[in-house]
C-alpha cells in the first residue's frame, strides 16, 4: 500500500489489515476511499498478494497528478512537470526485464526523463520485501535503500542498488564454486563487476574464498593483484583475517601476499 499527495498514514496499516483479511486490492481501495472524508486530496496505490492492482488519484490533488495500473504493479505521481509521467513509468517498467530492482529503477529514471516533479529533485528510495510471510520481525525485507537528500537522487540510488546486486552476484558466484562450477562462478563474478567495479570488498572476499576453500588461487590471482594495487590495506586485512580465522590451506597467506 502506498499513500501519497496529502498523505493519510493510517491508510497503510488499514489497507494491509484489509488485505490480510481476504480483501482484494480493488476492494481494499474502495473501503479506504469510502472511509476517508478527504479522499479528493489523496493518492493511493495498492497491489495484493495475487498481483491485483488498484489506484486512486483524488480530483483535488495538485496537478499534474495521475496513476497507471498494470500487471502486478501500480505507479502514482503528483505535482508533475507533465501529464505523461505515470505512463512513462509504466512503459519503462513493462519494457525492462530481469531483477525487480532494475525494473523499478528504470521506472524512476523514466519518470524524471518525462519531467518529474516540477519542484525538482531531492530524494529517492527503494524497498523490496519477500513474497513470503516472515517468521521473525527482522526477516522479510530484502532491500531498503534511501537517498534522503542529494543533487542526483536517482543516480545515487542506482549506484547503491547496483552495489547491492553486485554483492548478491558475488555471493551466488561463491555458491557456484562450492558446487564445482568454477567457470560459472567466474562468469557470475564478472556480472558483479559490470554492476559495480569500484567496491573492492566483495572482490577481495570472493577471491579469498575461492583461493582458500576451492583451490582456485591461480584463477583469482588477477583479482588479488588488482585489489592490492588499488588499496594495499587489503593485504593487512588478509593478515588480520588469517590471525582470527586460520585459512584452510597451509602457506596460502604467504602465496597471496606475494601477489601484491
Cα 117 from Cα 64, distance rounded (Å)? 9
**3-class SS of residue 158:** helix
**CATH architecture observed for domain 2-120:** 4-Layer Sandwich (3.60)
DSSP string, 160-202: HHHHHHHHHHHHHHHHHHHTT-HHHHHHHHHHHHHH-SS--HH
Over the stretch 215-238, which tens digit does the pLDDT of each residue have?
A: 999 999 999 999 999 999 999 999
Over the stretch 60-117, which tens digit does the pLDDT of each residue have?
A: 999 999 999 999 999 999 999 999 999 999 999 999 999 999 999 999 999 999 999 9
How open is the CA angle 44-50-51, to the nearest 5 degrees?
50
Mean pLDDT value across residues 45-74: 98
**3-class SS of residue 258:** coil
Q: How confident is the model at residue 251 (pLDDT cuts 50, 70, 90)?
A: very high
Strand partners, 145: 126
What residue spans define the domains of the chain? 2-120, 121-198, 200-260
Going through 9-140 in order, the beta strands assigned E by DSSP cover: 42-47, 53-57, 66-70, 73-77, 124-129
Cα 175 from Cα 98, distance rounded (Å)? 20
pLDDT computed for residue 199 by the predictor? 97
Over the stretch 127-141, which tens digit does the pLDDT of each residue have?
A: 999 988 888 878 899
Q: Which residue has the higher pLDDT, 260 or 74?
A: 74
Cα 133 from Cα 139, distance rounded (Å)? 9
Which string of b and e fits 106-123 if b means at least 16 CB within 10 Å? bbbbbbbebbbeeeeeee
What integer best gives the mean pLDDT of the chain?
A: 97
Evaluate if pTM is beyond 0.85.
yes
Mean pLDDT value across residues 32-42: 98
Mean pLDDT value across residues 184-209: 97
pLDDT computed for residue 137 by the predictor? 79
Amino acid at each position: 500500500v502506498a499513500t501519497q499527495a496529502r498523505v493519510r498514514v493510517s491508510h497503510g496499516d488499514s489497507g494491509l489489515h484489509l488485505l490480510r483479511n481476504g480483501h482484494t486490492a480493488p476492494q481494499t481501495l474502495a473501503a479506504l476511499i469510502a472511509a476517508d472524508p478527504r479522499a479528493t486530496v489523496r493518492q493511493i496505490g495498492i497491489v495484493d498478494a495475487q498481483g491485483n492492482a488498484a489506484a486512486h488519484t483524488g480530483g483535488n490533488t495538485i496537478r499534474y497528478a495521475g496513476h497507471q495500473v498494470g500487471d502486478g504493479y501500480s505507479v502514482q505521481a503528483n505535482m508533475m512537470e507533465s501529464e505523461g509521467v505515470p505512463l512513462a513509468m509504466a512503459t519503462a517498467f513493462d519494457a525492462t526485464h530481469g531483477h525487480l530492482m532494475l525494473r523499478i529503477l528504470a521506472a524512476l529514471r523514466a519518470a524524471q526523463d518525462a519531467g518529474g516533479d516540477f519542484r525538482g529533485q531531492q530524494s529517492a528510495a527503494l524497498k523490496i520485501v519477500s513474497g513470503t510471510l516472515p517468521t521473525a520481525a527482522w526477516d522479510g525485507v530484502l532491500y531498503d535503500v534511501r537517498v534522503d537528500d542529494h543533487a542526483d537522487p536517482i543516480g545515487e540510488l542506482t549506484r547503491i542498488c547496483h552495489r547491492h546486486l553486485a554483492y548478491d552476484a558475488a555471493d551466488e558466484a561463491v555458491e557456484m564454486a562450492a558446487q564445482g562450477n568454477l567457470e560459472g562462478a567466474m562468469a557470475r563474478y564478472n556480472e558483479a563487476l559490470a554492476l559495480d567495479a569500484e567496491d573492492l570488498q566483495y572482490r577481495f572476499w570472493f577471491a579469498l574464498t575461492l583461493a582458500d576453500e576451492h583451490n582456485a588461487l591461480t584463477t583469482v590471482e588477477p583479482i588479488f593483484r588488482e585489489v592490492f594495487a588499488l588499496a594495499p590495506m587489503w593485504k593487512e586485512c588478509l593478515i588480520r583475517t588469517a590471525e582470527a580465522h586460520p585459512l584452510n590451506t597451509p602457506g596460502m597467506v604467504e602465496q597471496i601476499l606475494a601477489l601484491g
